[in-house]
Structure 1
Amino acid sequence: MEAVLVSLLPYIIGSAVVPLQIIVGLLLLKSPKQGLFKAIAYVAGMTITRLLQGLLFGFILSRSTTFADGSSGKNPIISTLLLVLGILLLIAAYKKWRKEEDPDDPPPKWVTTIDGLTPLKAFGIGLGLPLIAAKLWVFTLSALATIAAAQLGQPTSAIAYLLFILLAESLLLLPILMRILVPERSKSVLIQLSSWLTRNNRPITITISLVFGLLFLKSGISGLLS
């Protein structure tokens, strides 16, 4: 179990630091009307989608005969997913550097309408975001493939995936907890953090995409050649 969690760390960190999902969560949280409920609904939507992805693709991957050797490091499915993820991240870094549009980024007008969303619509955004963001898809599939390859058994595999979801959403859950525990003090902090992330979205995305892109590309190529 410990070895699997270590193997999942790159996917956990990569999923957690995607700027788009954090910015949306913070914008919802600092909404003047029902901000806390909107943020909770948003995270709940993302969680449900990831659970459904786990049920469907976890079952498929666990039944794959490719996992017969039980090796997570040299599994061709994992290596292929890492290769694809590395390429996607490097493309994203290049597009951000060239100031081109990233398909995972929402239209600017969409972001400006967040304050007017209801909790139900925020829930819908949470449901949809993991489905339309290609990088989140590959992070999740890579995590599921790693868990399936370890052949931990159904209960332990389920726990490992739930931990992946929890940690991948940690940067969404922490501001919500802050808002609940210290509501007055958190308002200014959340506004400043949201503004900083929005202002520095481009350099953050370039750095994260470049670092993880090179890491996953190297791991994918090494796995396929080994």
Structure 2
Amino acid sequence: METVLISLLPYIIGSAVVPLQIIIGLLLLKSPNQGLFKAIAYVVGMTIARLFQGLVFGFVLSGSSALTADSGKNPIVSTLLLVLGILLLITAYKKWRREEDPDDLPPKGFTMIGSLTPLRAFGFGLGLPLLAAKLWVFTLSALATIAAAQLGWLSSTIVYLLFVLLAESLLLLPILLRIVIPERSKHLLAKLSAWLTQNSRPVTIMVSLIFGLFFLQSGITGLLG
């Protein structure tokens, strides 16, 4: 199990540092009315979406004959890594050229985040992992890696739940800070939200470029090795 968790680290980190989902969570959290409840509802929605993906695609991938642990080659994992690397490099290029990314919110979207009700924040969180292509491929790559390890149903479920928890760690941490130190955290989270919103473009370029090259190399190596 420990070996599989180490193999999942790139997907965990890649999923966790997606700037868009963090910015949305912080904007909801600093909302003047029910900010904490909105942020929690948002994360709960994302969690349910990922659990649904795990239930459906974990079952499909676990029965795939293409995941051959004996040979050490996993063409599904390698193909997903290749696709993910290409998607991330395209994202870096589009951000560099200031072109529109289909996974991004329109500019007006950020202004309306704070006005969402907790129910709509839940729906927002539910839809984001199901609509964002890069989040899809991160999750599918993790599921394919878990399926290829052939851990058994219980261990695979535990590993995937850990993946979900760690992938959402940067969303859960601000919520935890808001609960434990509510007054002190307000100023810190407001500054972090403002910085991320202002610097989302260079952060996205850097993250997409680093992970894009890594996943592209891993996918090509897996397919040709």
TM normalised by structure 1 equals 0.98
Cα-to-partner distance string for 1:96-122 (whole Å, 9 max, x where unaligned): 000101111001111101111100000
Is the Cα contact below 8 Å between 2:25 and 2:42 reproduced in 1? yes
SS in 1 for 2:170: helix
Residue 34 of structure 1 corresponds to 34
Superposition pairs of residues 69-80 of structure 1, within 5 angstroms: 69-70=69-70, 74-80=73-79
Structure 2: distance between partners of 1:144 and 1:98 = 33
Residue 140 of structure 1 corresponds to 139
Superposition pairs of residues 70-149 of structure 1, within 5 angstroms: 70=70, 74-149=73-148
Residue 56 of structure 1 corresponds to 56
Residue type of the alignment partner of 2:62: S
Residue 158 of structure 2 corresponds to 159
Q: How far has the Cα of 1:70 moved from its partner?
A: 4.5
Q: How far has the Cα of 1:195 moved from its partner?
A: 0.3
Residue type of the alignment partner of 1:87: I
TM normalised by structure 2 equals 0.99
Q: How far has the Cα of 1:68 moved from its partner?
A: 3.5
Gaps of 5+ in 1: none
Structure 2: distance between partners of 1:210 and 1:117 = 32
Residue 43 of structure 1 corresponds to 43
Structure 2: distance between partners of 1:70 and 1:191 = 50
Structure 1: distance between partners of 2:77 and 2:67 = 10
Residue type of the alignment partner of 1:40: I
Count of paired positions: 225
Structure 2: distance between partners of 1:22 and 1:70 = 39
Gaps of 5+ in 2: none
Q: How far has the Cα of 1:146 moved from its partner?
A: 0.2
Cα-to-partner distance string for 1:135-189 (whole Å, 9 max, x where unaligned): 0000000000000000000000000000000000000000000000000000000
Residue 204 of structure 1 corresponds to 203
Task: Give the % identical residues.
Answer: 77
